[in-house]
Structures are given as structure tokens and as C-alpha cells.
């Protein structure tokens, strides 16, 4: 009865935003945390980008990680405050539409969609191009990587499309394994390397093979300095934590649960990830030789703990990547469905439906799956496909975070307090840290190595702009208004009158 009462209250709060309860509420505290943690996926991010950091910044590049964690943690607090006040599926799209204006909301919604469409391919492609060839001892090719990635996408699609509870069960299980595995690996690396005398503390301040000249510089107009590029390790890994907000309409007491899940996921990922980076770097041996490896993390594990543990690591990373891609797909499908529910997504008549049999946005899932396969086909034969996909997948969330933080800064005094997640006296310090971090992060993408990532972004923005122009021409600006948007305005006006 208590659960029914709670769900009834959640449904009533959702109705204030103009929506009836159409998705089933079954997501609890751990499942919400697991969604946020799986998207961040430190096993995926560190395994994928550590080699790039060794080549661009050397081992000393790992010290960019704690700075990125502090910046992203500040962003998580700000986004958590927004999620608590607007617990509606669609996250960035909903926040911007209701607190800024529907046109800007549509733009951010489209950027969210393009990010989620590309990042699932980037993440899943890692399994096929980097991990399985080592794990199964075969020579990888672009065609094999394409085929394997397509199969991984298919498995994730079937879970997302046919059963949200089962998708969450799989994710919960894999996240639990990742947490246990990362803690165990980190402890074993420290202990075994210390016993064998293999901890090299000079690695923590080593530049590896990177030249000393200009190492600490910010770079110029078209390039970032070597150490600055190391920030991409944290910038790529610690993203997507706000995915928990995209399941707000499926979460019990989302105003309280979702923001805490976001902050806890960033904090846990940041602390555990940095300890793991320290352990790997201390046990790395010769960092110059390690930088030449395609799987440096696996090499360090194998040299320190043996081939059996290295194999277990690779299996754990495969499971972590699958969970990460699964959550990304869940999030992308929810954005598609949320925008279609408001009749603002191309072909919305099809994608706004909830399957009466599976209780999922089945048709939206089909669309997202097909688009992901198309993106995979476009990039599959490119030798720089992985870097391009990762570049776009790091750039787009930075843009979304910056928009959300600026939005909160402008609207913070008019936002009603709900007593469930407020920043209190820490609000301004947190906002300053978040803004400084995001300006710095966005400045990194001036580097010419991201030109293909920018090209993808510009193409997708152009497609979105064309459809937005069509909506504006056929409906006018007022035709893009959110459902019962007056309810939000009325609440703000009431607060102002009381003041």
C-alpha cells in the first residue's frame, strides 16, 4: 500500500508538468545509481583512453583526472538540482524548454539525441576493435569490428525494446561486478607490485616520450598543449551521469533519488578511477614502451598479476562496456520518446507510442537502433573512426552541460525549492567551479585533431536546424510550447507574489 501511495504521489507530481503516467515506475535507489554509474563506466573510459593519455601527455597526465572529477562533480550538483525540480523524462530537453524557451529546448534536445546516437557506437565499437581481438587472440579487421559491433547493438536493443525491468537487472548485475572487480584489481595491483618491488613512483611525474618543450602550455588557436590533452581522459569518461534523470518517470521519488544517484556515481567513479589510475601507472614499468601498446591496461595487469587475471579484466571490461552501451541506448530511446510525446521529433506519430505488450517505447527503440547501425556503417571503414566517435561523444555533452549550468545560473533565484535536493550556501561556489571547468573543457576542442568530430556535429546540427525550420514554418513559435507550460510559470509567479 505504501508503494502504491508513493507511486500515486509521483504520478500526481508528473501531472503538474502536463503528462499522465504512461511508463511503469520500478526504478529504485540502486538501479538509479547503477544507470548513472554504468554510463560513466570507469572501466570502459580508462581502458579506452589511457593509451591516448600516455601518448599525448605521458603518465603525468593522470593528474588531470582529479581536476576533471571536481569539475564534473560541480556539474553533477547543478544538474541534480535541475533534475530534482523537473523530474520528467527528457532531461536537458525538458530543462531548457521549460526554463529558457521551447526553441532552445528543441535545439538542446536534438544535440542530446545526436550525442546519444554516436556515443553508443563509440562505446560498443571498443569491444570489437580493441578488446575481443586480444581476448580471443585473432587479428581484427574493420569488417569484423563492424559485424561484432552490430551484434552488440542488437543485444542491447532487444533488452531495451522488450523489457525495461530485465534491462535494469542486467545493468545492476554488471555494475555490481564492475564495482567489485575494479576495487579488487586496484588492491591487487598495489599489493602485488609492492611485494615484487614493482612500484615505480617516478612514473607519477614522468612525461614518457612526450617532449618537454611547451609541455605545460595551453597551446595556440588550433592546438592544445600536451598536458592539456590529458584532460580528455576525465572529460570522456565522467559523462552521462545525468542519464538517471532520463528515467525520472520510471523512478520512485525521483526528486530525491535521481540527483543523489548522479552525485554518488560521479564521486564513486572519481575516487575509484583515480586509485586505479595510480595503481596502473605505478606498476606500468617503462611508460614509453607501454605507450606503444594497443591495450596498455591489460598489459600492466598481465605483467603484474598474470594472464589469468588479465583475461578476467578483459571479460569485466566487455561486460562494463555492454552495460554502458545498454544505458546509453535506454537514455537515447527516452529522449526520442519524450520529444515525440510533445510532437517535436521527426516522425513523432510513430515514436511517441508505448507498447501495450512490453510497456516500453518500442518504436522509438527501433528508430534509435537503426540510426546507430547507420552511424556504425558510415564510420566502420575509417582508420580514425574510434577517435572521431570519441571526440564527438566528448564534445557534445560538454555543450549540453554548459547550456544547463548557464540556464541554472540565470534562473536559480526563481526556481522553487522542494527541500529534497538543494545546493544551499554552496550554490555560488559550485556554479563558479562548474563554469570555469566547462569553459576550459570546451577550449580543448579547438585542437585540430577534432576536426572530424566537429564535422559530425555540424552535419547533425544542420539536419536538426532544417527540421526546426520546418516546425517553425508550419506551426510558428507558439506551436512549440510545452504541455501545460503555464503550470511552471504559475508556480514561479506564485513564489514571486509571496516574496
Per-residue pLDDT of the chain (499 residues; tens, 9 = 90+): 445 677 788 888 888 888 899 998 889 999 999 999 999 989 888 988 899 899 999 999 999 999 999 999 999 999 999 999 889 999 999 998 888 888 888 888 998 998 898 889 888 988 888 888 888 888 878 888 899 999 999 999 999 999 999 999 999 999 999 999 999 999 999 999 999 998 999 999 999 988 888 889 888 888 888 899 999 899 889 999 999 999 999 999 999 999 999 999 999 999 999 999 999 999 999 999 999 988 899 899 999 999 999 899 889 999 999 999 999 999 999 999 999 999 888 899 999 999 999 999 999 999 999 999 998 888 777 656 666 777 777 788 888 999 999 999 998 887 777 778 888 899 999 999 999 999 999 998 888 888 877 887 788 788 888 888 888 888 876 667 777 544 444 444 444 455 5
DSSP single-letter state for residue 59? G
Whether 337 and 352 have beta carbons less than 8 Å apart is answered as: yes
Homologous superfamily in CATH for domain 32-488: Amino acid/polyamine transporter I (1.20.1740.10)
3-class secondary structure, 310: helix
Whether 34 and 313 have beta carbons less than 8 Å apart is answered as: no
Cell numbers at 191, concatenated = 599489493
From residue 211, alpha-carbon distances to 62, 206, 288, 375 in Å are 17, 11, 12, 36
Whether 206 and 199 have beta carbons less than 8 Å apart is answered as: no
Whether 67 and 234 have beta carbons less than 8 Å apart is answered as: yes
3-class secondary structure, 225: coil
Task: Go through the chain and tell me how many residues it has.
Answer: 499
Residue with cell 542519464: 243
The phi-psi region of residue 421 (left if phi > 0; otherwise alpha if psi is between -120 and 50; otherwise beta) is beta
Q: Furthest-apart CA pair in the chain: how many Å?
A: 71
Residue with cell 549540453: 400
Whether 421 and 259 have beta carbons less than 8 Å apart is answered as: yes
Cell numbers at 115, concatenated = 550525442
Residue ranges covered by each domain of the chain = 32-488
**Predicted local confidence at residue 4, as pLDDT:** 67
Cell numbers at 170, concatenated = 542486467
Amino acid at each position: 500500500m505504501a508503494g502504491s501511495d508513493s507511486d500515486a504521489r509521483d504520478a500526481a507530481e508528473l501531472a503538474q508538468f502536463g503528462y499522465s503516467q504512461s511508463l511503469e515506475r520500478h526504478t529504485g535507489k540502486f538501479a538509479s545509481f547503477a544507470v548513472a554509474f554504468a554510463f560513466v563506466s570507469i572501466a570502459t573510459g580508462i581502458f579506452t583512453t589511457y593509451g591516448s593519455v600516455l601518448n599525448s601527455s605521458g603518465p603525468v597526465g593522470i593528474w588531470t583526472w582529479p581536476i576533471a572529477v571536481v569539475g564534473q562533480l560541480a556539474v553533477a550538483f547543478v544538474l541534480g538540482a535541475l533534475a530534482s525540480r523537473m523530474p520528467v523524462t527528457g532531461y536537458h530537453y525538458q530543462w531548457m524548454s521549460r526554463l529558457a524557451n521551447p526553441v532552445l529546448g528543441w535545439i538542446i534536445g536534438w544535440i542530446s539525441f545526436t550525442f546519444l546516437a554516436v556515443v553508443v557506437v563509440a562505446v560498443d565499437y571498443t569491444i570489437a576493435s580493441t578488446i575481443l581481438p586480444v581476448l580471443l587472440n585473432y587479428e581484427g579487421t574493420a569488417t569484423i569490428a563492424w559485424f561484432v559491433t552490430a551484434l552488440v547493438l542488437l543485444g542491447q536493443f532487444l533488452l531495451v525494446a522488450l523489457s525495461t525491468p530485465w534491462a535494469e537487472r542486467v545493468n545492476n548485475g554488471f555494475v555490481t561486478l564492475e564495482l567489485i572487480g575494479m576495487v579488487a584489481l586496484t588492491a591487487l595491483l598495489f599489493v602485488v607490485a609492492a611485494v615484487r618491488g614493482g612500484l615505480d613512483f617516478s612514473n607519477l611525474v614522468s612525461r614518457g616520450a612526450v617532449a618537454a618543450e611547451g609541455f605545460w602550455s595551453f597551446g595556440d588557436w588550433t592546438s592544445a598543449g600536451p598536458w592539456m590533452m590529458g584532460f580528455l581522459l576525465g572529460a570522456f569518461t565522467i559523462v552521462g551521469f545525468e542519464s538517471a534523470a532520463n528515467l525520472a518517470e520510471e523512478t520512485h521519488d525521483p526528486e530525491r533519488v535521481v540527483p543523489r544517484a548522479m552525485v554518488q556515481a560521479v564521486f564513486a567513479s572519481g575516487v575509484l578511477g583515480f586509485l586505479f589510475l595510480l595503481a596502473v601507472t605505478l606498476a606500468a614499468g617503462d611508460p614509453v614502451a607501454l605507450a606503444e601498446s594497443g591495450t596498455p591496461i591489460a598489459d600492466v595487469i598481465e605483467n603484474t598479476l598474470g594472464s589469468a587475471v588479465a583475461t578476467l579484466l578483459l571479460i569485466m571490461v566487455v561486460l562494463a562496456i555492454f552495460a554502458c552501451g545498454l544505458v546509453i541506448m535506454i537514455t537515447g530511446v527516452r529522449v526520442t520518446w519524450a520529444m515525440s510525446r510533445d510532437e517535436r521529433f521527426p516522425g513523432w506519430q510513430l515514436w511517441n507510442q508505448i507498447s501495450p505488450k512490453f510497456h516500453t517505447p518500442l518504436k522509438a527503440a527501433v528508430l534509435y537502433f537503426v540510426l546507430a547501425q547507420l552511424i556504425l556503417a558510415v564510420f566502420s571503414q575509417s582508420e580514425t573512426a574510434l577517435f572521431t566517435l570519441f571526440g564527438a561523444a566528448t564534445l557534445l555533452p560538454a555543450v549540453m552541460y554548459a547550456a544547463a549550468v548557464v540556464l541554472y545560473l540565470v534562473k536559480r533565484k526563481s526556481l522553487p525549492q522542494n527541500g529534497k535536493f538543494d545546493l544551499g550556501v554552496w550554490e555560488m561556489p559550485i556554479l563558479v567551479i562548474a563554469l570555469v571547468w566547462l569553459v576550459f573543457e570546451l577550449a580543448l576542442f579547438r585542437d585540430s585533431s577534432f576536426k572530424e568530430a566537429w564535422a559530425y556535429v555540424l552535419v547533425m546540427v544542420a539536419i536538426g536546424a532544417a527540421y526546426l525550420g520546418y516546425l517553425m514554418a508550419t506551426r510558428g513559435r507558439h506551436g512549440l510550447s510545452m504541455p501545460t507550460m503555464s503550470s511552471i510559470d504559475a508556480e514561479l509567479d506564485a513564489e514571486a507574489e509571496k516574496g
